[in-house]
């Protein structure tokens, strides 16, 4: 505990590092920006998508707009995580809307019926092609002070870099996960020669940006290993609004709607249901605990490419419930419904990404059982707030869930520690205020050098 209190008192050295808690953070956020910017964000995902990259990109842009910056977005039509076009959007045309004072331009893209590797690549490539003319047109009209590109998809990076060079705009590339490395590790792409060629091109493109950020220390190390100069790299972690997501009574309306008794323990997975998670192993865990002395109910809340497969696998089980992806305004209730949160992750993608669901789980004041080897970033982040088990140890994963289900005191202590971590390391206002400062400094530096 003393270590965490010391952590909370440190000053900001990079985006996402913990800073002063309480009023000091609120004071930082309340300060007017030293300069009002015109910011253009370019990336595949944006609101109204509820999970993943779209959620964080839209929250960032809305926050910047509320701070008085002029924010413009070039993005795809919303589709994630269901890979189905959202209602009200026309994927055969370009569409413009204003969301929370942000000018958002949606570009058409190919959406495969089955998002396997080839379909995903074609989808991302179609967005890169359709969005490039719109990107150039918006830059000509807006003349932004800074351009922020967000990956995945990495296929936006070449166009972003070309546009920044052509119009002499400072460029910032933000990496939510290393999709190229993950594709090879998961077998979506194969071949040593191909990997060397693709990662070599990736490294070259990365080195050309003025700033490159990513969401965890281990991922920052990977940037350095790819040849990015330390002075260009920034840790810009994802965040959570600790006022919106907070500990609450476990006896929620949602629990009642699902017909789950107050005595039952709820083990919850909430988020995208896709290949990177290895979520199908949670069904095996549910089967192993179906007849345990403790009544443990598994709830899967979300959507994604593997949902139908997951439903099929869980069909024989009586201790599994499925719930559609819930709107943001109900997320705090969803998280409070859980007694134990579950974070599966394939061993192959460890430290290539950090699950975005982690920060809200910590803020909810509930412990988590995660699939992570000792020494990985995920295992480090959950220390004291949950239990990390090797992704290959399904028996150990089930035992960790059972252990938490049987020990009210342990759940309470880990939940309290998780809430402390969320308030010090993941607090939205402080992380975004630090990002804003660096964004202004980047724009100012290019102006001085012009």
327-365 confidence digits (pLDDT tens): 989 999 999 999 999 999 999 999 999 999 999 999 999
Is 27 a residue whose pLDDT tops 70? no
Strands (E), 361-438: 368-371, 386-389
Task: Please tell me the number of Cα atoms within 13 Å of 161 on its side-chain side.
Answer: 18
Cβ contact 235:17 at 8 Å = yes
Give pLDDT, residue 279.
86
What's the whole-number mean pLDDT along residues 261-265? Answer: 95
Give pLDDT, residue 32.
63
Give pLDDT, residue 254.
93
Q: Kind and range of the H or E element at 214?
A: strand 211-214
More confident residue, 309 or 298: 298
b/e map of 18-43 (b: 16 or more CB within 10 Å)?
A: bbbbeeebeebeeeeeeeebbbbbbb
Span between the terminal Cα atoms of the chain, in Å = 49
Helices (H), ranges, 67-172: 117-142, 157-167
Give pLDDT, residue 103.
98
Give pLDDT, residue 34.
67
Give pLDDT, residue 449.
46
More confident residue, 418 or 446: 418
Distances (CA, A) of 193 to 120, 147, 158, 200: 21, 33, 21, 11
DSSP codes of every residue in 95-117? EEEEETTEEEEEE-----SS--H
Residues 6 or more apart in contact with residue 93 via CB below 8 angstroms: 108
Q: How much is the mean pLDDT over the chain?
A: 90
What's the whole-number mean pLDDT along residues 412-436? Answer: 97
Q: Kind and range of the H or E element at 55?
A: helix 52-66
Cβ contact 75:99 at 8 Å = no
Give pLDDT, residue 116.
82
Backbone angles phi, psi at 392, to 5 degrees: -90, -5
Is 10 a residue whose pLDDT tops 80? no
Is 17 a residue whose pLDDT tops 70? no
Q: Name the residue among 76, 162, 85, 81 with its Cα closest to residue 125.
A: 76
Q: Kind and range of the H or E element at 14?
A: none
- The secondary structure of residue 93, as a DSSP letter, is S
What's the whole-number mean pLDDT along residues 8-22? Answer: 35
The percent of residues in the chain predicted with pLDDT above 70, rounded, is: 91
Give pLDDT, residue 446.
58
Give all strands of the β-sheet with 368-371 in edge-to-edge order: 320-323, 296-303, 265-272, 340-343, 368-371, 386-389
Is 4 a residue whose pLDDT tops 70? no
Give pLDDT, residue 340.
98
What's the whole-number mean pLDDT along residues 393-411? Answer: 97
**Please, what is the Cα angle at 360 between 346 and 404, to 5 degrees?**
70
Is 95 a residue whose pLDDT tops 80? yes
What's the whole-number mean pLDDT along residues 56-83? Answer: 97
Q: For 263-319, give the secondary structure using H, E and C.
A: CCEEEEEEEECCHHHCCHHHHHHHHHCCCCCCCEEEEEEEECCCHHHHHHHHCCCCC
Tell me the whole-structure pTM to 2 decimals.
Answer: 0.90
- 3-state SS assignment for residue 437: helix
Domains and CATH numbers, the chain: 13-27+35-239+427-449 (3.40.50.2000), 253-425 (3.40.50.2000)
Give pLDDT, residue 272.
87
Question: Lowest-confidence range among 30-39, 49-58, 240-249, 434-443?
Answer: 30-39
What's the whole-number mean pLDDT along residues 380-395? Answer: 96
Cβ contact 294:310 at 8 Å = no
Question: Lowest-confidence range among 16-30, 86-100, 297-311, 338-352?
Answer: 16-30
Cα-trace Rg, the chain: 22
* Owner of token pair 């842009």: 61
What are the tens digits of pLDDT across the range 102-119?
Answer: 999 999 999 998 888 889
**Residue 96: Cβ within 10 Å count:** 9
Is 274 a residue whose pLDDT tops 70? yes
Is 181 a residue whose pLDDT tops 80? yes
Please give the Cα distance from 265 to 401 (Å, whole number). 10
Give all strands of the β-sheet with 95-99 in edge-to-edge order: 95-99, 102-107, 70-76, 38-43, 146-151, 171-175, 211-214, 233-235
Give pLDDT, residue 276.
65
More confident residue, 117 or 166: 166
């Amino acid at each position: 505990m003393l270590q965490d209190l010391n952590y909370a008192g440190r000053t900001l050295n990079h985006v996402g590092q913990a800073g002063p808690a309480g009023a000091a953070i609120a004071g930082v956020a309340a300060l007017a920006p030293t300069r009002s910017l015109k910011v253009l964000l370019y990336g595949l995902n944006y609101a109204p998508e509820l999970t993943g990259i779209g959620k964080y990109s839209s929250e960032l842009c809305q926050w910047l707009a509320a701070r008085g910056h002029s924010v413009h977005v070039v993005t795809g039509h919303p589709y994630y995580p269901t890979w189905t076009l959202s209602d009200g959007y026309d994927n055969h045309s370009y569409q413009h809307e204003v969301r929370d004072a942000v000018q958002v331009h949606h570009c058409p893209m190919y959406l495969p019926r089955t998002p396997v590797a080839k379909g995903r690549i074609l989808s991302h490539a179609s967005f890169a092609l359709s969005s490039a003319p719109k990107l150039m047109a918006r830059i000509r009209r807006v003349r932004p002070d800074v351009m922020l590109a967000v990956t995945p998809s990495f296929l936006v990076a070449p166009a972003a870099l070309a546009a920044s060079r052509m119009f002499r705009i400072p460029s910032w590339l933000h990496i939510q996960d290393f999709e190229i490395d993950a594709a090879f590790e998961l077998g979506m792409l194969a071949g040593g020669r191909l990997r060397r060629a693709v990662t070599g091109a990736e490294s070259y493109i990365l080195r050309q940006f003025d700033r490159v950020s990513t969401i965890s220390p281990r991922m920052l190390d990977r940037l350095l290993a790819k040849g990015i100069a330390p002075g260009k790299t920034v840790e810009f972690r994802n965040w959570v609004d600790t006022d919106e997501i907070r500990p609450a009574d476990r006896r929620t309306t949602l629990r009642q709607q699902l017909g789950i008794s107050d005595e039952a323990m709820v083990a919850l997975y909430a988020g995208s249901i896709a290949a990177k998670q290895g979520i199908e192993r949670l069904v095996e865990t549910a089967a192993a605990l179906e007849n345990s002395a403790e009544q443990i109910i598994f709830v899967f809340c979300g959507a994604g490419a593997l949902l139908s497969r997951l439903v099929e696998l869980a069909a024989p089980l009586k201790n599994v419930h499925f719930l559609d992806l819930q709107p943001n305004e109900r997320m705090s209730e969803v998280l409070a419904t859980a007694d134990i949160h579950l974070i599966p992750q394939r061993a192959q993608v460890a430290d290539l990404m950090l699950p975005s669901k982690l920060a809200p789980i910590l803020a909810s004041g509930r412990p988590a059982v995660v699939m992570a080897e000792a020494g990985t970033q995920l295992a480090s982040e959950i220390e004291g707030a949950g239990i990390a088990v090797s992704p290959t140890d399904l028996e150990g994963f089930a035992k960790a869930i059972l252990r938490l289900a049987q020990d009210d005191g342990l759940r309470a202590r880990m939940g309290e520690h998780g809430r402390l971590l969320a308030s010090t390391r993941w607090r939205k206002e402080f992380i975004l205020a630090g990002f804003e400062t660096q964004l202004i400094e980047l724009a100012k530096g290019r102006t001085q050098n012009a």
